[in-house]
């Protein structure tokens, strides 16, 4: 589930590790489904042990720890992964540990309940080739309104489905796509190439608004309680959701219709048929 706001919250939460020296990288004992760690853990340890952490970046839905020799240790949470500097929600789902020294934080942890996430270490050249050479679109927090429209306007896909395409714009997932389209007043099944310039402007402005506010609230912790920030605390934006996971409830925007749930590409979509009319 972690989308841009949750991953950005993780990134900010682990900033105290900047300047630390890496002592060791370890795959922690875990009886659950193993996650992918690349290269093999002994090689990863050999490569980064002794290096200092220069900065912490975010690439779409990934946390990127950059070392002094420009290696990137990349954490991709996927559905249930968390990057932590505090005790994890459970011990049995802890997957990876990076031991640190010369800073108040003693270890960086990767926890994953379902085991769908991964950790990899890339050189700067590998990072540029595998992740930045057109494979990911511009970040949703920095893409301009004109760039945003250009990346979607010729597509015949339904707009909700298109917004989930990370090669078009990086960072938006299922939850925030529903919230963005609701506030923009756009039906999730509207075709991208049928939307007006004004509608694209509204989607873009609402996207920035929703993502910024969700970051301020440190993300959304849903009913399963899986998402936690870097200190193992709940987010707060779930209390601001207007449509997501609220099927059958009255729309808080118009107060005259119930929220509807449909399925698009095997993902749940939530919207109000009165506020988001299909033209």
Q: Which tens digits make up the pLDDT trace of 161-189?
A: 999 999 999 999 999 999 999 999 999 99
* Catalytic center residues: 2-3, 61, 267
In a domain, 278, yes or no: no
- Claim to verify: residue 81 and residue 25 sit in the same structural domain: yes
Q: Residue 222 pairs with which residues in a beta bridge?
A: none
pLDDT at 33: 86
- Residue range 29-45: mean pLDDT, rounded: 95
> Edge to edge, what strands does the sheet with 72-76 contain?
36-38, 118-122, 72-76, 62-67, 53-59
Using one digit for the tens of pLDDT, what is the confidence trace for 221-265?
998 889 999 999 999 999 999 999 999 999 999 999 999 999 999
Domain encompassing residue 255: 145-272
Q: Is 266 left (phi over 0), alpha (psi -120 to 50) or beta?
A: left
152 & 245 share domain:
yes
Is there a contact between 226 and 243 (Cβ–Cβ < 8 Å)?
A: no
Preceding peptide of 48 cis, ω within 30°: no
Residues 242 and 124 in one domain: no
Q: Exposed (0-12), middle (13-18) or buried (19+): which is 204, by Cβ within 10 Å?
A: buried
- Supply the CATH number for residue 237's domain: 1.10.8.50
Last residue of a domain, one of 89, 106, 132: 132
CA angle 75, 232, 164 (to 5 degrees): 45
Q: Which of 49, 47, 101, 107 is nearest to 83 (CA)?
A: 107
Domain count within the chain: 2
Q: Report the half-sphere exposure of 40 (CA within 13 A, side-chain side).
A: 2
Distance, CA of 244 to CA of 177 (rounded, Å)? 9
Mean pLDDT over 45-50 rounds to: 97
**Whole-prediction pTM value?**
0.96
């Amino acid at each position: 589930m972690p989308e841009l706001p949750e991953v950005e919250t993780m990134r900010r939460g682990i900033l105290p590790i900047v300047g630390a020296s890496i002592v060791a990288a370890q795959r922690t004992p875990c009886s659950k489904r193993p996650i992918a760690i690349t290269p093999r853990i002994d090689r990863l340890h050999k490569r980064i042990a002794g290096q200092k952490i220069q900065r912490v970046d975010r690439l779409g839905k990934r946390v990127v720890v950059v070392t002094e020799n420009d290696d990137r240790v990349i954490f991709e949470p996927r559905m249930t992964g968390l990057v932590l500097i505090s005790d994890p929600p459970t011990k049995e789902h802890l997957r990876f540990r990076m031991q640190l020294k010369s800073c108040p934080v003693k270890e960086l942890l990767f926890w994953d309940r379902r085991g769908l996430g991964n950790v990899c270490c890339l050189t700067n050249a590998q990072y540029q080739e595998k992740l930045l050479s057109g494979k990911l679109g511009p970040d949703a927090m920095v893409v301009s309104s004109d760039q945003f429209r250009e990346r979607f306007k010729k597509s015949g896909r339904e707009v909700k489905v298109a917004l989930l395409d990370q090669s078009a714009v990086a960072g938006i997932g299922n939850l925030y796509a529903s919230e963005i389209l609701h506030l923009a007043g756009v039906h999730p099944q509207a075709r991208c190439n049928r939307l007006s310039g004004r509608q694209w402007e509204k989607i873009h402005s609402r996207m920035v608004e929703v993502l910024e506010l969700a970051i301020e609230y440190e993300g959304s912790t849903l009913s399963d309680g899986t998402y936690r920030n870097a200190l193992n605390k709940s987010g707060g934006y779930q209390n601001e959701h207007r449509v997501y996971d609220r099927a059958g409830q009255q729309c808080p925007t118009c107060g005259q219709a119930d929220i509807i749930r449909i399925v698009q590409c095997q993902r749940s979509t939530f919207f109000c048929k009165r506020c988001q009319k299909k033209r």
